[in-house]
Amino acid sequence: MKIAPLKISLFVIITLSILMIITSLLCYKNFIGLLSLWSRANKMNIYLKVDSTDKDKTDVLNLIQQTPQVSSAVVLDRQKAGLEFQNSLKNFSSGLITEDEMIDLIPETIEVDLQSSLTLTERETIFTELAKKMSANAQVDEISYSASWLKKLEFIDRILRSIGASVFLVLVTSISYLVALMMRSYVEDSKQEIEVYSLLGATRWSVYRIFLKDVFLFISTSLIIAFSSVLLIFTLLKNKLNTSGLFGMISDSLHFLSLTESISIVVLLFLFIFINSFFTIQASVNKLNQLSYD
Amino acid sequence: MIEFKHVYKTYGTSSGSGQHTLRDVSFKIKKGEFIFLIGPSGAGKTTLFKLISAYEKISSGEVSVLGHNVGQLKRGQIPFLRRKIGFVLQSYKLLKNKTVFENIELPLIILNVNKEERQKKVSAMISQVGLTEVQDQFPDFLSGGEQQRVAIARALIHDPEIVIADEPTGNLDPELSNSIMNLFFKFSKSGVTFVVATHDYRLIKEPGCRILKVDKGELVEDHIL
């Protein structure tokens, strides 16, 4: 085997591996982002008893505010809510119920929202705890926050994380194996070069350096190509979604990896592949230690 | 400079018994000497070279090269010993993806010599061995004699104290062999110690050369021509 095809194969393998990892992370980030978007729209409604006084309302509001993650707790206007509800039923029940009767049917409601930075799991946990605390209050009649949906989303998130971690492990193991395989062939193919360097008095480190220099170039170029490709495909896809009216809202919620996330991935992948390559080169070169000059 | 004291080299066999390649070999080589190491194929000439350059470990005895006890050298110290030796081998051992100039430059790169000095030294050496016209060519485009001259230039470029040449004319015709030997004699005048292994006795004609003859692993002759 010639060195040039080996180098090309090694380069392609590293680039594709990095591309797969970045794409997986980007997909996970945006999928969770979309789920969180729905969960952020979901607020908790606390219905007070019909005979509750203003003091009761203030007590309940104070109790809610004790949870630091609560971003807002708003008392809804009963009359406004009643009118809106009546309007929505006007065509079906015109004159059936009067305004006063309607308002009596609507309880005092406090709408609670949480900080937007919270994850799905955190939202679900805080809402559950808050609901438990509120249920114990004598003035609270009923609580609604789509608990079952939140639980389902939290479950999906957990499953995705587990699958993501497993896929990441499989990918990383495959990359290690492939990079090691290619590096071993590369070193084996450069046997004559290593022999000459050794004959001329090159230390083992200077022999490693010859290969590590190539690996460094491969990884750097692969990272640039992989990142640019993913960014390009992502931008094109987002634009396409944006122009199609149905998915316009979704496209606004899609985001590329942040600078911190990108730098972390680059550093992690670079270190991982570089260290893996180093140990393979070291083992392969040491294997050729009994050099022949015949 | 090089000293062998009762050196034995034994290779193990599959039956467990050892086979002596070198048997009680003792000699001393002084600085500036030109040595012809002669003997039939398989006599132990290459093994002797491998012991000098620490490619093989001795079974017993002591090998001392440039003040280093080779048997006691640590793995990390071996490259520094080899840097003081120039090697010329039958198979040339040139890098095919590097030009004549780059091949000759290699030992200086390993020794971290700066680029300017490298250029100066390599150009001078190329001119001395008569390779100026082919300095930008790759080894595959050169004749056997030219390739061996590149190997000689590479062996001498870093001013080694010893040059080891193992059958340097093995692949060359008599005329080219003579020109290679003349190059060796020319450089030996600068005080470099040459140890040339050959089984072509026709090459041994320079008066003052010392001849060491090995046969079946034993040193059987040691005289000056």
Residue A47 pLDDT > 80: yes
Nearest to A291 by CA among A182, A204, A177, A175: A204
Contact B212, B224 (CB under 8 A): no
- Other CB atoms closer than 10 Å to residue B48's CB: what's the count? 30
Q: What is the pLDDT of residue A39?
A: 67
Amino acid in position B150: V
Question: Over chain A, what is the mean pLDDT?
Answer: 80
Amino acid in position B187: F
User: What is the Cα–Cα distance from A98 to A86, expressed in whole angstroms?
Assistant: 9
Structure tokens at B4: 């062998």
Residue A1 pLDDT > 60: no
Mean pLDDT, contiguous 10-residue spans, chain B (225 residues): 89 63 90 90 87 89 91 89 90 90 94 94 90 92 89 91 88 80 85 88 80 89 83
Residue A21 pLDDT > 80: yes
pLDDT tens, residue by residue, A198-212: 889 998 888 888 888
Q: What is the pLDDT of residue A94?
A: 59
User: What is the Cα–Cα distance from B55 to B213, expressed in whole angstroms?
Assistant: 22
Nearest to B10 by CA among B2, B24, B26, B21: B21
Compare A255 and A50 and report the one with higher pLDDT. A255
pTM of the full structure: 0.69
pLDDT tens, residue by residue, B128-141: 888 889 999 999 99
Q: What residues form DSSP beta bridges with A77?
A: none
Contacts of A98 (CB under 8 A, 6+ apart): none
Chain B residues touching A203 at Cβ < 8 A: 76, 79
Q: What is the pLDDT of residue B188?
A: 86
Structure tokens at A204: 């083992």
Residue A294 pLDDT > 50: no
Amino acid in position A290: Q
- Other CB atoms closer than 10 Å to residue A60's CB: what's the count? 21
Q: Which residue in the set A3, A199, A204 is minimally distant from B93, CB to CB?
A: A199
Q: Which residue in the set A202, A290, A293 is minimally distant from B93, CB to CB?
A: A293
A286 touches chain B (CB under 8 A): no
Q: What is the pLDDT of residue A61?
A: 87
Helix crossing, B144-156 with B100-110: angle to 10°?
A: 20
Residue A244 confidence class, pLDDT cut points 50, 70, 90? confident
DSSP string, A90-111: TTTSTTTS-HHHHHHHSPPEEE
Using CA of residue A170, residue A173, residue A179, residue A181, what is the dihedral sign?
A: negative
Interface predicted TM-score of the whole assembly (ipTM), two decimals: 0.88
Question: How far does A191 lie from chain B, in Å, by closest CA?
Answer: 11
Residue A49 confidence class, pLDDT cut points 50, 70, 90? confident
Q: What is the pLDDT of residue A291?
A: 47
Most confident listed range (A53-62, A147-156, A269-278, B136-145): B136-145
